[in-house]
């Protein structure tokens, strides 16, 4: 499944270590964080994980969530929720060529 790839992990790791380069937005949902990432940042296989003008949505596998809890908690802190009691994380990705950005959205359920 694309959402459990090293590519998505590497993008999330990059964001966590370079948050000043990222545009974070908080949508109307309290359990979601949206990000715009400059598309000049290297991504492995962007045509698979960040399709042009098309949304790709997947659920992280349970073992990915368990293994990467600290990284996911970093993103959870950008939501309006206070207690990280999520069990599932959904990831939506896309490439927005006209904005020269990758779109990444995480939904904590």
pLDDT at 82: 85
Which position has the higher pLDDT, 36 or 4?
36
CA end-to-end distance (rounded Å), the chain: 19
Arithmetic mean of pLDDT, 61-73: 93
Q: Across the chain, what does the average pLDDT equal?
A: 92
Answer whether residue 52 shows pLDDT above 90.
Answer: yes
Angle at alpha carbon of residue 67, lines to 64 and 68, rounded to 5°: 80
């Amino acid at each position: 499944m694309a959402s459990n790839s090293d590519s998505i992990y590497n993008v999330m790791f990059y964001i966590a270590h370079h948050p000043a380069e990222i545009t974070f937005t908080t949508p109307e949902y309290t359990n979601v964080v949206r990000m715009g990432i400059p598309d000049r940042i290297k991504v492995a296989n962007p045509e698979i994980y960040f399709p042009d003008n098309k949304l790709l949505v997947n659920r992280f596998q349970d073992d990915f969530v368990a293994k990467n809890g600290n990284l996911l908690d970093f993103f959870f802190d950008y939501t309006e929720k206070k207690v990280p009691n999520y069990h599932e994380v959904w990831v939506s990705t896309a490439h927005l060529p006209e904005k020269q950005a990758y779109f990444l959205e995480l939904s904590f359920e």
